[in-house]
């Protein structure tokens, strides 16, 4: 269906055929714009779905979409927005329990949006429009005061102002409070919302909820969404002004563990739009300040007051049988999709694929992660024999094998990161630079000792993990109470000494 429309209208339906018929007939009778109507059917019974199909068959500007289950208000409208919002400058959300009585209601709303670049969302005059301390919409305490949000039963908004996501779907489910959240998000970005007087639209209110049996506890979901709303906008709820939340993340030491804070910082700005995130760490080189990390360093907490403080020191140690990033996310009370879990390096790096460079870092940091140096030397010699330009990085000159170019010590983290980014291969043990190699996509061949790679390798990374997972004590670091280092139970570090150079060469050849 080619062509540009004035507005895409997303109409959600769940049964109630007579109510729905009245809504659609009044919509066609009064709408005056060039609109595309997308009807989402949340798995209605045949009486309703057959009628909706007939509407789509009759009108070229109607698309019928049937969902296999009742996916709720948020998912249904988000799906339509993702698929069709690019076909117009304006997007309209409607309930099926509306009756349109004003001719040209859609044109009136669009004209209001066109009247000012600051106006992002409009709707009819509503009885509510104010959010109380529990996240519930109520009548405004002061009559005729501007609304705090536009109700989700009927609004039109600018696609450019909304951006990629219509309603929050990660932390809000099914329905309830998502309309207030959208209006808050628009207002926090500097845009305005507005009620348009004189547009008469009858709203019958909660017809589906009143007359249909839902297969879940919708009251509990309503309360969960409301709790999220008041948490996300906690500063607004206190001050009634959109000033950024100040969030501090603490991960004091450990090079790799500090780097893995980055996905948490990135997601916090999604959870709390516009938030300013600060990181207290002894490894600030990882975090070039960007649009979501304002400052990092060892003394950040002393400089200002924070609305939220998230202490990740010992977060992983308290949850040892969990991927370290998942342990951080659990402590920070955020949700991370799989593709979000790999840390991103925020500094500038260039990559030179095909350079035939192999970077070796011989530092395991702990005895229970340290593969023997003579074996590292033999493998480095093998790589050199394969035509690799071997470069050795790290902090301890005593771990230089003598095979590659000695770049150990005296270089800042940004320089080392660039060396790794330029390479075709990173070889080492579980540690900070191994996490960086994964972040920039450099293939990494990693030796694991006391740590289990499933808790340390990041999703989607180019990693070949070599690990003795067949031993009774395999992954001993993740057993027992919280700790940072692990003493070998057998005394001989068989998980490391049992890995031969020939085995590493065989696995490398098969992998590469």
**What pLDDT, on the 0 to 100 scale, is given for residue 416?**
92
Q: Is the dihedral angle over the CA atoms 492, 494, 498, 499 positive or is it negative?
A: negative
Q: What's the confidence (pLDDT) of residue 188?
A: 97
Confidence label for 3 from pLDDT (cuts 50, 70 and 90) = low
Stretch among 205-219, 253-267, 366-380, 424-438 having the lowest mean pLDDT: 205-219
- pLDDT score for 206: 63
Residue 483: is its pLDDT beyond 70? no
- Answer whether residue 313 shows pLDDT above 60: yes
Q: What is the pLDDT of residues 248-302, one digit of tens each?
A: 999 998 888 899 999 999 999 999 999 999 999 998 888 877 888 999 999 999 8
State the sign of the Cα–Cα–Cα–Cα dihedral 483, 484, 488, 493.
positive
* For residue 433, pLDDT beyond 80: yes
Euclidean distance between CA atoms 80 and 100, whole angstroms: 22
The 10s digit of each residue's pLDDT in 373-417 is 999 999 999 999 999 999 999 999 999 999 999 999 988 888 999
Domains and CATH numbers, the chain: 5-211 (3.90.550.10), 246-340 (3.40.50.2000), 357-511 (3.40.50.2000)
| pLDDT value, residue 1 | 44
Mean pLDDT of the chain: 93
Q: Could you write out the DSSP letters of every residue in 295-315? A: EEETTGGGTS--SEEEE-TTH
CA max distance for the chain: 84
Which tens digits make up the pLDDT trace of 98-117? Answer: 999 999 999 999 999 999 99
pLDDT of residue 244: 94
| 225-240: average pLDDT | 97
Give the whole-angstrom CA distance, residue 169 versus residue 43: 20
At residue 90 the predicted structure's pLDDT band, cuts being 50, 70 and 90, is very high
311, pLDDT greater than 80: yes
In eight-state DSSP terms, residue 440 is: H
Q: Which residue has the tokens 């019958």?
A: 204
| Phi, psi for 13 (deg, rounded to 5) | -135, 135
């Amino acid at each position: 269906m080619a062509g540009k429309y004035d507005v895409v209208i997303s109409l959600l339906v769940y049964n109630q055929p007579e109510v729905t018929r009245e809504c659609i007939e009044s919509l066609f009778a009064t709408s005056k714009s060039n609109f595309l109507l997308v009807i989402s059917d949340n798995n209605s019974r045949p009486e309703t779905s057959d009628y909706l199909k007939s509407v789509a068959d009759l009108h070229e500007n109607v698309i019928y979409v049937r969902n296999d289950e009742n996916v709720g208000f948020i998912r249904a409208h988000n799906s339509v927005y993702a698929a069709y919002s690019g076909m117009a400058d304006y997007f309209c959300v409607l309930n099926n329990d509306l009756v349109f009585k004003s001719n040209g209601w859609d044109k009136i709303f669009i004209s209001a949006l066109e009247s000012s670049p600051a106006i992002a969302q409009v709707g009819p005059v509503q009885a509510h429009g104010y959010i109380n301390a529990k996240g519930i919409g109520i009548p405004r305490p002061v009559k005729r005061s501007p609304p705090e949000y536009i109700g989700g039963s009927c609004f039109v908004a600018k696609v450019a102002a909304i951006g990629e996501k219509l309603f929050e779907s990660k932390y809000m489910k099914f329905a309830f409070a998502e309309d207030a959240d959208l209006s808050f998000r628009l207002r926090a970005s500097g845009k305005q919302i507005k009620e348009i007087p004189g547009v008469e639209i009858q709203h019958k209110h909660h017809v589906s909820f009143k007359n249909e049996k839902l297969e879940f506890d919708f009251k509990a979901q309503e309360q969960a969404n409301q709790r999220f709303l008041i948490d996300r906008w906690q500063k607004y709820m206190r001050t009634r002004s959109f000033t950024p939340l100040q969030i501090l993340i603490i991960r004091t030491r450990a090079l790799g563990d500090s780097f893995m804070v980055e996905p948490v910082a990135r997601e916090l700005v999604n959870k709390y739009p516009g938030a300013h995130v600060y990181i207290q760490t002894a490894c600030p080189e990882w975090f070039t300040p960007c649009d979501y990390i304002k400052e990092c360093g060892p003394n950040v907490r002393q400089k200002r007051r924070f609305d939220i403080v998230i202490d990740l020191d010992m977060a992983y140690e308290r949850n040892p049988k969990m991927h370290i990033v998942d342990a951080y996310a659990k402590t920070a009370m955020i949700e991370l999709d799989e593709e979000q879990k790999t840390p991103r390096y925020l500094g500038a790096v260039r990559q030179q694929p095909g350079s035939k460079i192999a970077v070796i870092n011989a530092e395991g940091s702990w005895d229970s992660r340290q593969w023997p140096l003579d074996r590292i030397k033999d493998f480095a010699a093998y790589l050199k024999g394969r035509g690799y330009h071997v470069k050795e990085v790290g902090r301890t000159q005593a771990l230089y094998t003598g095979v590659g170019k000695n770049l150990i010590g005296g270089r800042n983290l940004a320089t080392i990161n660039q060396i790794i980014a330029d390479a075709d291969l990173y070889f080492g043990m579980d540690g900070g630079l191994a996490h960086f190699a994964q972040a920039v996509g450099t293939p990494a061949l990693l030796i694991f000792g006391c740590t289990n790679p499933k808790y340390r390798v990041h999703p989607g990374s180019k990693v070949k993990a070599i690990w003795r997972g067949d031993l009774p004590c395999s992954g001993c670091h993740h057993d027992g109470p919280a700790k940072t280092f692990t003493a070998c139970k057998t005394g001989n570090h068989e998980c490391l000494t049992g890995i031969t150079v020939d085995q590493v060469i065989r696995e490398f050849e098969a992998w590469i």
